[in-house]
Structure 1
């Protein structure tokens, strides 16, 4: 496997491990309440988003998703937990027909604004 795919898989595994560890610690199936989610995914999250996920890394990761899923122009894509659209919008720019869903209205609004900017 190449480094981009390895890093993508590693991040996904870390996310899943964190989710599982939180569930085990709390004894629940939902680690964060809606209020906690709203606090975490605030404007501050967006302020630091490019530091945590630099655009170059997002470009590589979206390219890896495109290749791994054998996407092509017009391919339908549903991304659950799309956040601020860092992968979803890049797939759309490549020609996929994307739908992104997220629990955070703030992140969805950012995704929609960025998508509108890229189509102008």
Structure 2
């Protein structure tokens, strides 16, 4: 009985060491690319509100979220992340409608209201 317990303990320790050694592989190019700074710039198609989700709205802004500031037509912003609203509250009607929000400095902007600069 003691031999079986010792054998199982040794086997578990060896498996843990192998799992650690295999997971500590050198970083790939995809991981290195994820660390690169955000350089994609976007330009506002029309005057649009930058909204910050309220404390009870979750991570994605809605059309009822408080307005932080406005982006004016032609203003450039930097954004590398898109927030996807999966309910009817986060859908917008400006700039063609949709539920994708680009995260910019200060809040979120409907994705349809921005184009690549």
Please tell me the TM-score bracket, short chain as reference. under 0.3
More helix by share: 1
More strand by share: 2
Structure number with larger C-alpha Rg: 2
Which structure carries more relative contact order (alpha carbon 8 Å, separation 6+)?
A: 2
Structure-2-length-normalised TM-score: 0.22
